[in-house]
Amino acid sequence: MSAAAASPRHYAPLRHVPLVAIEHMTMRFGGLTAVDDLSFEVRRGDITALIGPNGAGKTTVFNCITGFYKPSSGRIALASAEGVTSADVARVTRSGQRYHVNGNGGVFLLERMPDFEIAARARVARTFQNIRLFTGMTVLENLVVAQHNRLMHASGFSLLGLLGTAGYRRAERAAVERALYWLDTIGLTARADDPAGDLPYGDQRRLEIARAMCTDPVLLCLDEPAAGLNPRESADLNTLLRKIRDGHATSILLIEHDMSVVMEISDHVVVLEHGAKISDGTPDFVKNDPTVIAAYLGVDESEEPAAEAEIEAAQRRGARKAGGNGNGSGKPGTNGSPGGAR
């Protein structure tokens, strides 16, 4: 552990180029700063995990990326086209546009886009901490609704669909095929015609992921996908997420408390505490990072000054440190983070 701490802080080598770059993002709710000058990258083809103690601002970051919140400041740039340079992103930023589509992908400034547009155009899909399925609709309907925009075009905004043209029927069959593919992947084909609200909890979690995947996303954001799952279901989830990463052009960003999931499947882990990043790297790097250990487990009073210095250095900002017993540092947090969040 000490060896890891002594080694120079570095971003562990990651395989792929950035897909989403979150730069200096701050989110304030009135006087409360939930996320404070946060910067990190989600790399293409990776499973990136966002971890941190309760109240660290993970879900806020998610809501900012998916457009449910508008960050107070900062930039969230998603570049889904090949070979996008920072100059391209800068050009779009200067132009005042929300996004610039280029072939199959483009540059999307997520902080400027409303939530449904992020899902529809930037192709960022998400799930929710408390499952949000359409409970009164069948499993199959849930997956077909997710393909709304594609089907809407095929139905000629309902006019062709009302007439039942061949083009629309073909598109609907394709949508059902895609739904069946995902049903098969999550093992729920037999329950396609059952209402989603009737499924057991673990199946509902997997169905929500399948529904998000039916939108054909470049980035899939999962908010605590393993919450409430038993060990066997957790293992199934790991398999599913690996399958998504390896078999589809979809990168994954997930929030998770279950470390067995995080450490097993993540390629890249970002640790938040009180709205600021305290560590960022490979799972092994993060696991052995003393700052992370201090944040999660707390430190003895005797070690406090050393640990405090470490955290100060790590954050490079005055984020309040979490001492072993309450607020060890004398100065009040400049970020107004909620106390006792650990």
Partner 1 sequence: MSGADAAGEAGRRDSAPEPGVRLSAALLKALKVAAVVVGLCTPIVLLETSQGIDNQLRLDWRVPLVAVLAGLAFLGSLVVTFGAPHVARFKAARARRPSIEVQPAAVTLAKIVAIALLVAYPFIAVMLAGFGGATKWIDNFGIQILIYVMLGWGLNVVVGLAGLLDLGYVAFYAVGAYSSALLAKTFGFSFWLVLPLAGILAALWGILLGFPVLRLRGDYLAIVTLAFGEIIRLVLINWVDVTNGNAGISGIPRPTFFGLPFNASDGGFAATFGLEFAPQHRVIFLYYLILALALLTAWATSRLRRLPVGRAWEALREDEIACRSLGIDTVKTKLTAFAIGAMFGGFAGAFFAARQGFISPESFVFMESAVILAIVVLGGMGSQIGVAIAAIVMIGGTELLRELDWTREVLGPAFDPTQYRMLLFGLAMVLMMLWKPRGLVSSRTPSIQLGEGNKAISGKLVKEGHG
Distance of alpha carbon 38 from the chain centroid:
14
325 near partner 1 (CB under 8 A): no
Min separation Cβ 176 and partner 1, Å = 7
Number of residues engaging partner 1 in binding (CB under 8 A)? 45
Beta strands in 209-335 (DSSP E): 219-223, 251-255, 268-273, 276-281
Q: Which residues in 93-107 are b (16+ Cβ under 10 Å) and which e?
A: eeeeebbbebeebbb
133 near partner 1 (CB under 8 A): yes
296 near partner 1 (CB under 8 A): no
Binds partner 1 by CB under 8 A, chosen from 14, 45, 68, 233: 68
Alpha-carbon distance of 34 to 55, in angstroms, equals 8
Q: Quick one: 132 or 316, whose CB is closer to partner 1?
A: 132
Non-local (6+) Cβ contacts of 25 within 8 A are 35, 37, 38, 39, 61, 64, 71, 73, 74, 75, 76, 111
Among positive and negative, which fits the CA dihedral 113, 119, 125, 128? Answer: positive
Alpha-carbon distance of 324 to 52, in angstroms, equals 17
Binding positions for partner 1, 142-161, rule CB under 8 A: 144-146, 148-149, 151-152, 155, 157-158, 161
Min separation Cβ 134 and partner 1, Å = 4
Binding positions for partner 1, 213-252, rule CB under 8 A: 215
126 near partner 1 (CB under 8 A): yes
DSSP 25: E
Binds partner 1 by CB under 8 A, chosen from 26, 93, 102, 138: 138
Min separation Cβ 254 and partner 1, Å = 15
Judge contact between 27 and 33, C-beta under 8 A: yes
Interface stretch with partner 1, choices 24-32, 48-56, 209-217, 276-284 (CB under 8 A): 209-217
Q: Is 49 exposed, middle or buried (0-12, 13-18, 19+ CB in 10 A)?
A: buried
Q: Quick one: 33 or 155, whose CB is closer to partner 1?
A: 155
195 near partner 1 (CB under 8 A): yes
Q: Quick one: 219 or 271, whose CB is closer to partner 1?
A: 219
Binding positions for partner 1, 106-125, rule CB under 8 A: 115-117, 119-121, 125
Judge contact between 126 and 221, C-beta under 8 A: yes
29 near partner 1 (CB under 8 A): no
Tokens coding 7 = 């080694």
Q: Is 160 exposed, middle or buried (0-12, 13-18, 19+ CB in 10 A)?
A: middle
Min separation Cβ 136 and partner 1, Å = 3
Min separation Cβ 281 and partner 1, Å = 29
Alpha-carbon distance of 205 to 253, in angstroms, equals 16
Judge contact between 93 and 75, C-beta under 8 A: yes
Interface stretch with partner 1, choices 139-147, 239-247, 269-277, 318-326 (CB under 8 A): 139-147
134 near partner 1 (CB under 8 A): yes
Binds partner 1 by CB under 8 A, chosen from 48, 59, 60, 66: 66
136 near partner 1 (CB under 8 A): yes
Min separation Cβ 13 and partner 1, Å = 33
Distance of alpha carbon 194 from the chain centroid:
29
| Run of H or E including 105 | strand 105-109
- List contacts with partner 1 (CB under 8 A): 66, 68, 115-117, 119-121, 125-128, 132-138, 140-141, 144-146, 148-149, 151-152, 155, 157-158, 161-162, 172, 176, 180, 192-195, 197-198, 211-212, 215
